[in-house]
Amino acid sequence: MFNYNFRWNQALSSLPQMLEGALVTIEIAVLSMAIGITVAILLTLFRLSGSRPLSAIATTWVEIARNTPALFQIYMVHFGLGGFGIHLSPYLSLLIGIAFNNAGYLTENFRGALKAIPETQTRAARSLGMSPIQAFQNVILPQMLRISFLPMTNQMVWAILMTSLGAVVAMNTDLYGVTSELNARTFRTFELFAIAAVIFYVITKAITLSARLLAARLFRY
């Protein structure tokens, strides 16, 4: 049945390179989440500000990010902006593409989280003499982040999985890019990608588990 010679040692000898690639993958995902969360908080503020143009910017961003494929977004960042003369390295294109996507989804998550926080909190904070920004920063934001913790973890896992799309913008230092290059040289497709799949699984499970542990510590009551 198996008319195929498995050459596992050939694939396993490339394991160090793939692990280096895995580090780059994690790095991109973490950075894109950091940027994504920051932008999402900003967009949430835009929405809360009540100003029409700012709200529109936030809504446009969210709707584009959530209604078009991530692959399309990453391709656009590299080649679309390139048409305007803005040159971004593959690393940056991938990072910005994923961050754009993250920001959109996270803003939506934050919106859902805000609905669970009663209005009375803001009013109480304001009546204590806090400015709107202070009220948001000290009272609303922590609660919002806490409620959104699980969706944010999911988004982080998504970010890790999205790094595999970097191949279309010539990204060859993340885990998928390294595996792809090795494949182009040796054609051991099944062995190489099976190992890559295992590494991805381990990374995502590690993230989910550590998030759960973190949640148990942070949100103890």
- Angle at which helices 175-186 and 15-49 cross, to 10°: 140
The first and second tokens of residue 150, run together, are 């699980």
At its nearest, how many Å lie between other proteins and the CB of residue 69?
Answer: 4
Q: Tell me how many degrees the CA angle 77-80-82 measures, rounded to the nearest 5.
A: 90
Q: Mention every residue, 6+ apart, whose C-beta is less than 8 A from residue 43.
A: 57, 58, 61, 62, 103, 107
Which CB sits closer to other proteins, 36 or 177?
177
The first and second tokens of residue 58, run together, are 């936030």
| Interface ranges with other proteins (CB under 8 A) | 1-4, 63-64, 66-72, 75-76, 78-80, 82-85, 87-90, 157, 161-165, 167-170, 172, 176, 180-181, 183-187, 189-190, 193-194, 196-197, 200-201, 204-205
Q: Which of 196, 216, 215, 206 is nearest to 30 (CA)?
A: 206
Which CB sits closer to other proteins, 32 or 135?
32
Complete DSSP assignment for 39-91: HHHHHHHHHHH--HHHHHHHHHHHHHHHHS-HHHHHHIIIIIHHHTT----HH
Which CB sits closer to other proteins, 46 or 158?
158
At its nearest, how many Å lie between other proteins and the CB of residue 83?
Answer: 5
Which CB sits closer to other proteins, 79 or 219?
79
Which CB sits closer to other proteins, 66 or 123?
66
Report how far residue 111's alpha carbon sits from residue 122's, in angstroms, rounded to the nearest whole number: 15
